[in-house]
Structures are given as C-alpha cells and as structure tokens.
Amino acid sequence: MTAPGDDLDAWLRRLERGHPQAIAMGLDRVGRVWRALGAPRPGARVITVGGTNGKGSTVAFLEAAAGAAGLRVGCYTSPHLHRYNERVRIAGQDVDDATLVAAFERVERARGGIALTYFEAGTLAAFLVLAAAGIDLAVLEVGLGGRLDAVNLIDAEVAVVTTVALDHQDWLGDSRAAIAVEKAGIARAGRPLLVGERDAEPALLAAVEAIGARPLRLGRDHDWLPGPPPLCLLAERRVELPDRLPLAAPAQWDNATTALAALHALDAGIDLAAAARGLAKARLPGRLQVADGDPRVVLDIGHNPQAAAELARWLAAQDGTTDAVFSALADKDLAGVVSPLLAHVRIWHLAGLAGDSPRGLTVDALARRLADLLPAGRVRLHADVPTALAAARAGAAADGRILVFGSFLTVARAEAALRVPERPA
C-alpha cells in the first residue's frame, strides 16, 4: 500500500514498477480489479477508438465536435507529451493531480495482490474519474491493439478503427491481417464499427462480421468532398465541413469525416451542423505542429511507416527545403519510417534517446541501424534532441524548414526546448 499523501509523480513511479512487464496483454487481471471497483462505466455512452494511426486525431475531432453539439465529453488517451494529466480530460480540461491520485488510491485498495501494468492502472483510474464526472459521452483511445487492451473492458455503443498498418508486431502479429483481427476486437455484436480507411483490410471486415457488428466504411457509408464548401456525405444527408481543419495532414479529412459519422451512428438526433463546425476547434499537439520562428520548425510524432508516408505526402506539397531531426525507439521499423522521407529531406540530424526511455537508442546505435540507408554526407549525429534541434536551426537553408519526428518523446523534448505555443501547420 502506498503511503497517504503521495503526489502524482510518486504514484506514477510506483506504477511503473507495478508489473514485471511493461506490456502484459489480456483482460483477466485488469478485469478482476475493474469488477472489484464496481465495474465503473466512464460515460452514459462510449465511443472506443482503435487503429494504427489516426487514433489521437479522431479522438480530438470527436471531442471537439461532440462538445460543440452540446454533449459533456470526457476523453482518455495515451501516451502523453508532457504531463500525465493530458491523458484524462473532462470538457476539454486536463484532470488535476488530486483527482488522479484519489483514483489511483482506489485502484490500489481494490487490486489486492493482483499486479497491474502502468497502463492498466491508469485505465482503471481514468474510468473512475470519468464515471464520477457525469459524462454524456466518453471517448476512449485504445492503447495497443484492441481485443486484449484494458480499454476493451467497456462495451462501447460505437467503435472506430481508423487504420491498420504494421506496428507493434511483437504483440499484435507480423501481418496486416493479424493486426486487423486484434483491432476488430473492440467491436460489439449488433453495434456499429466505423472503418476509417478506404482500402479496408479484408481480415478486419471478416472479423467484424464474425463478431456480428455492423461495419460503416469510409468511401461507402460515409465520405467527404472538397469544397467550396467541403462536405461530409452521410447516407441520407450532406453536412458542410469547415473550410480548413486545424490538423494539417491530408488524412485528417478522412479522420474528421469518420469522427462525424461516428457521432451520427451514436445518435441520429445529434446536431450534425453544430458538430461539424466544432471540428475546426480540435487541438492535438505533436501532429504537424508548427513552432513560429525562423526557420520554421514542424513537430510530428510519426513513428511507423504509414505515418511517415503521410508526412511525405505533406512535404511533397510544400515549397522550400526540409532538414530533419529524427530519433526513435529501438523496437520501431526505423528503415520503414525513414525511407518514405528520403526524397524530401536535405540533411538528417540524428539524435539519441537513450537517457529518456529504456527503449531509447544512443545516437551511435541509431546511426548504425540507418547506415545503409542514409548518405553519409547528409547525416549529423547528436547526443540528444535539444542539441540536434539547435544544430538544425543553425544550419537550415534560407528557404528551409525543420521537421522533428520519430516518437512522442522526440517531439516532447523538442517542444520543451522551443517552449512555443501550439499551432497547426
């Protein structure tokens, strides 16, 4: 039992040691503790969002749109950029330390001798906080996969799978089909599951059908048209979208449309016009986030090949040159992340993350893994992200920008060094 009066940081340090594995898939242990807590349901209605990329963006669009339509919205997301409190939001505000500590204390009392991972304990605490807040709609982001993720304890009225791509293969499988089956596990029989990509993985659709859920697919059941004005197309109506979205990547139009369609699937009586206007208020740091200055710095968490391909699409439409600050965790497909950007980056500033995470690489280890891919004359090595960013800023071309990408940690370290307010690209 933890001593009374411990602050949030002390709790988080203990939670990191709560289970011998950082990731332990399965619902048995966490489910027993959830039931011991009284099986708290985080909201009157729930939308669960899974997928390889686009989860955070879709949650942000859902939060903004549902709030604009008059719903009291609570969100649970992960990971965070700077403060753990970012993971639990009520009506757009991060939950305070005292509320989180009280929830962790309840989880501790309920768990008995059951070991919980950091994520599992945090998920149960989030359920308690949201349940106590009188939430009309809880939007829950899946942490890893779906079927065996702690978030999947909750039977959601609507589920969303944004995209399916290769990532976390050690836990989810080594093919897109295997990963799709894991992600489909958030669906529920007789309820809608929104599919947020046009080339839907057949294994995803087959798994959803086997569950008995009702797939609603981008490009078939919902879609959008460019303007003016941009339009969201639903089965029986058209809804005008904002002229510009606050999240800049091309795929964000798909994410925004899927979010709006998910709200419609949740409640056909929702004010879709108000919800669509609310999309313009979505905020999500670290997704093509711009730091004002000269040169311009663009921060993006993109850390797998699909996300990198989307970054490449965005860069291809921009003028000027790009230098990159890149760092990533050891378990990522580094060549797959870097390859789509090779044609768009002039100089590569590689940075170490060994001091920031047990999965972080030294810059020398990072360089060795990319040695056969990056031309030696275009590579600079730096011990850490702030040092790499300073060098990139000093050496940028007159018409240049700096792209900082590769992980949440990479962006967090750069953003802290820059100390700038959030603005979309």
pLDDT at position 291: 85
Q: What is the mean pLDDT of residues 352-372?
A: 90
Determine what percent of the chain is predicted with pLDDT higher than 70. Answer: 94
Are residues 277 and 294 located together in one domain of the fold? no
pLDDT(95) > 70: yes
Q: How many residues does the chain have?
A: 425
Q: Is 342 within the bounds of a domain?
A: yes
pLDDT tens sequence across 408-422: 999 999 988 987 555
Residue 1 lies in a domain: no
Residues 340 and 260 in one domain: no
Q: What is the mean pLDDT of residues 345-372?
A: 92
User: Residue 145: its pLDDT value, please?
Assistant: 84
Residue type, 164: V
Domain end call among 234, 262, 281: 281
| pLDDT at residue number 398 | 86
Instruction: Write the Ramachandran bin of 248: left for phi over 0, alpha for psi from -120 to 50, otherwise beta.
Output: alpha
User: Does residue 423 lie in a domain region?
Assistant: no
Tokens read off for 215: 């797939």
Q: Which residue, of 252, 281, 310, is where some domain finishes? A: 281
CA torsion through residues 71, 74, 77, 81, sign:
positive
Higher-confidence position of 157 and 4: 157
Question: Is 3 a member of any domain?
Answer: no
Same domain (yes/no): 174, 44: yes
- Banded model confidence at residue 168, pLDDT cuts 50, 70, 90: low
Query: What value does the mean pLDDT take over residues 54-79?
Result: 96
Residue 2 lies in a domain: no
Please answer whether residues 363 and 391 qualify as being in contact, where contact means their C-beta atoms are separated by less than 8 angstroms. Answer: no
Q: How far apart are CA 299 and CA 58, in angstroms?
A: 18
User: Is residue 1 over pLDDT 80?
Assistant: no
Segment 247-264 shows an average pLDDT of 93
Report which of residues 324 and 17 the model is more confident about. Answer: 324
Question: Domain for residue 394, yes or no?
Answer: yes
- Tell me the pLDDT band of 423, cut-offs 50, 70 and 90: low
| pTM over cut 0.85 | yes
Residue 24 clears pLDDT 70, i.e. is over it: no
Q: Residue 424: inside a domain, yes or no? A: no
Residues 84 and 13: beta-carbon distance below 8 Å:
no
Average pLDDT over residues 336-356: 93
Indicate whether 17 and 67 sit together in one domain.
yes
Lowest mean pLDDT among 157-171, 318-332, 399-413: 157-171
Q: Are residues 250 and 332 in the same domain?
A: no
Residues 379, 251 share a domain: no
User: Does residue 297 have a pLDDT over 90?
Assistant: yes
Task: Based on the fold, state whether residues 178 and 308 are members of the same structural domain.
Answer: no
How does the average pLDDT of the chain come out, rounded?
Answer: 91
Q: pLDDT digits over 127-150, tens only?
A: 999 999 999 999 999 988 889 999
Query: Where is the domain boundary, 256, 281, 306?
Result: 281
Which of 404, 365, 408, 409 lies closest to 383, judged by CA?
365
Highest mean pLDDT among 301-305, 352-356, 379-383: 379-383
Q: Which region among 160-169, 269-278, 291-300, 352-361 has the lowest average model confidence (pLDDT)?
A: 160-169
Are 38 and 71 found together in one domain?
yes
Residues 277 and 302 in one domain: no
Residues 253 and 323 in one domain: no
pLDDT at 170 over 70: no
CATH number at residue 319: 3.90.190.20
Structural domain that includes position 335: 289-418
60 and 126 share a domain? Answer: yes
pLDDT grade, residue 20 (50/70/90)? Answer: low
Query: In degrees rounded to 5, what are phi and psi of residue 207?
Result: -70, -40
pLDDT of residue 16: 83
Nearest partner of 327 among 296, 301, 295, judged by Cα: 301
Quote the pLDDT of residue 158.
Answer: 98
Please tell me whether residues 233 and 331 are part of one structural domain.
no
How sure is the predictor about 153, in pLDDT bands with cuts at 50, 70 and 90?
Answer: very high
Local confidence band at 2 (pLDDT 50, 70, 90 cut-offs): very low
Q: Which helix (H) or strand (E) holds 324?
A: strand 322-326
Tell me the sheet residues that pair with 329. 360
* 73 within a domain of the structure (yes/no): yes
CATH of the domain at 19: 3.40.1190.10
What pLDDT, on a 0 to 100 scale, did the predictor assign at position 194?
A: 98
Give the number of domains in the chain: 2
Report the pLDDT value the prediction gives residue 115, as an integer from 0 to 100.
92
